[in-house]
Chains A and B, each alone.
Chain A
Amino acid sequence: MKYLFLDTSSFNVNIAIIIDNEIIENFSITNSPKLSENIFVYIEDIFKKSKIKINDIDKVFVVNGPGSFTGVRVGVTIAKTIAWSLKIPIITLSTLELYATTKVSEKYLIPFINDRNGYLYAGIYDNELNNHMIDKYLHMSELLKEIQNIKECVMIGYEKLDTTIEIVEPELDILKIINKYEDDYSDDVHLVKPNYLKMIDAERNLEKNNDQKNNN
């Protein structure tokens, strides 16, 4: 089986071609605001090197967030269009779960992406990729409450945080997460969308106003 793996959601862009459980081509580069301008240069390049064509792909895996809204959308739009065109399965993966493929000696991993004002995106996984807290957008203080009973844990992310918990930079094991999901049913390609985990300000304000109206 030939898979395309696409991750444009956060700090690094990762593209891989996997054939029969082996990564035959892998490309990684620091993400930038110019992602959309260059992404096809990377994709065309990796296919050239791999000696297979995009039409040969049997399944596409795409990381659909959380992360940079634009970054996620670029990857998801490409993956959706490929899956729709080639009529192949599409499987969405979590950015945070992908971080949690990092090899560490601790049992629990807390992948995170820092946001503003003490808020962050985080989840709790163990080193077998079992989920113990679904990916959320939450305040650091809430996260600390969630993990107060977990002794053996490490945080996985690229940023510094104001915490005593050890932070390890992600080292992605793409095959590990693909092996977990490769036999899953495909998502409906039309319904695939980014998993932002965060409402935009205009929508939150609107909801707040509506709540106030309803309460009055």
Chain B
Amino acid sequence: MKDKYILAFETSCDETSISIIKNGYKEIATVVLSQIDIHAKFGGVVPETASRAHIENITIVIEEVLEKAKMKIEEIDAIAVTYGPGLIGSLLIGLVAAKTLSYIYNKPLVPVHHIAGHIYANNLVKPLEFPLIALVVSGGHTELILMEDEYSFKYIGGTVDDAVGEAYDKVARVLGLSYPGGPVIDELATTGVDIYNLPLPMDDSTFDFSFSGLKSAVINLNHNEKQRGNEINSANLATSFQNRVVEILTKKTMRALKKYDVNNLVLAGGVAANRGLRERLTELCRENEIDLTIPDIKYCTDNAAMIGAAGYYAYKLGRRFDGVLKAKPTDKLN
């Protein structure tokens, strides 16, 4: 079969990323222009600022990825683009640029769900094996997805309020740590002791998660200790917080694997870079003989390589934008 090349766009949040992927698993070239420095001074992503940065980056990134791949758009088979979920103003820049190229070069335009991309980041490590359960954890998402076949998704649970990465950012802010909070708390948690009495959030029989209560518990604890004139030990608090997060995530994931009788687990999303979570999942999967795949750190955060990987399968299934170009900021993966 002839090789298929996908030019993929990902601009759903604060990274302008474009990638060229061959046959859904081989990365030819990827360029990511991160806005992390811009948003760090605000302590979080400012949607309008993100959108303003994307439009300044977009043609630069297109040019760079083609140069890096030593390819021309004429050699591309299809263009894939994240249509949601994400920040509407950010999504639009990638969508509109991708659509313009697809019109000029007469290439099919393939819509890709952002979470499908995160899951397919693992296809760049080794081919996905079905059925599988995906635990998707990032600044915007916390979801458990069941896949019984290629590019078929069943949502089995997810956060009812804050995404796990969001909770890390907010806790980091309370502790006076830098943004993004995930890596800082993860690092700090390796040096602390779990001495604080924090609740295990939404410890029930569903596959849903809730992190706003845990976040509030941290904020209240910090506030109350300060009122009493007690010094909070940031490392210990980071450890207690991270332990609770890791425990509930792994507990529900392992239960989902058992309930659906699945032996393959893939971890996806920016929080997949979290060392505490990686270590605990690795341990549990070894004990339970589950085949665990975790993408390289560079594929965990938002990037277009994963959209190119997912886009290849969506392209093969005949998924296309039909005339109208619709961004869907809150679409569920189903």
Contacts and interface: CB of A to CB of B under 8 A. Distances in A.
Interface string A138-162: 0000000000000000000000000
Contacts of B330: none
A80 B61 CA distance: 12
B55 A194 contact: yes
Interface stretch (A34-42, A102-110, A118-126, A173-181): A34-42
Contact of B56 (A69, A193, A200, A203): A193
Interface in A34-63: 36-41, 43-44, 54-55
A206 interface: yes
B49 A85 contact: no
The majority secondary structure among interface residues of chain B is helix
Contacts of B89: 69-70, 73
Given A190-B59, A193-B55, A206-B41, A81 B325 contact: no
Interface stretch (B23-31, B94-102, B261-269, B295-303): B94-102
Contacts of B49: 200, 202-203
Contacts of B42: 202, 206
A111 B93 CA distance: 28
Given A78-B100, A206-B42, A85 B73 contact: yes
A190 B55 CA distance: 9
Given A36-B325, A200-B49, A206-B41, A73 B103 contact: no
Given A69-B51, A74-B96, A41 B324 contact: yes
Contacts of A206: 41-42
Interface in B306-334: 323-327
Interface string B69-113: 000010000000000000001001101110111011100000000
A76 B93 CA distance: 10
Interface string B1-19: 0000000000000000000
Given A41-B323, A80-B58, A190-B63, 5 more contacts: A36-B96, A39-B96, A39-B325, A69-B48, A85-B104
B145 to A, nearest CB: 27
Q: Range of interface residues on chain A?
A: 20 to 34
B46 interface: yes
B294 interface: no
Interface in A62-88: 69-70, 73-74, 76-78, 80-82, 84-86
Contacts of B62: 81, 84
Given A73-B93, A76-B55, A36 B104 contact: no
Nearest to A188: B59
A189 B55 contact: no
B60 interface: yes
Given A36-B96, A74-B96, A84 B59 contact: yes
8 contacts: A39-B96, A40-B99, A69-B48, A73-B51, A73-B96, A77-B92, A80-B97, A85-B100
Contacts of B97: 77-78, 80-81
A77 B104 contact: no
A77 B55 contact: yes
Contacts of A194: 52, 55
B59 A189 contact: yes
Given A36-B96, A73-B93, A200-B46, A85 B55 contact: no
A196 B325 CA distance: 24
Contacts of B105: 85
Given A77-B55, A190-B60, A37 B104 contact: no
Given A36-B96, A74-B92, A82 B59 contact: no
Contacts of A200: 46, 48-49, 52
Nearest to B48: A200
B59 A80 contact: yes
Contacts of A190: 59-60, 63
A54 B58 contact: no
A86 B104 CA distance: 9
A134 B303 CA distance: 40
A80 B16 CA distance: 15
B258 to A, nearest CB: 43
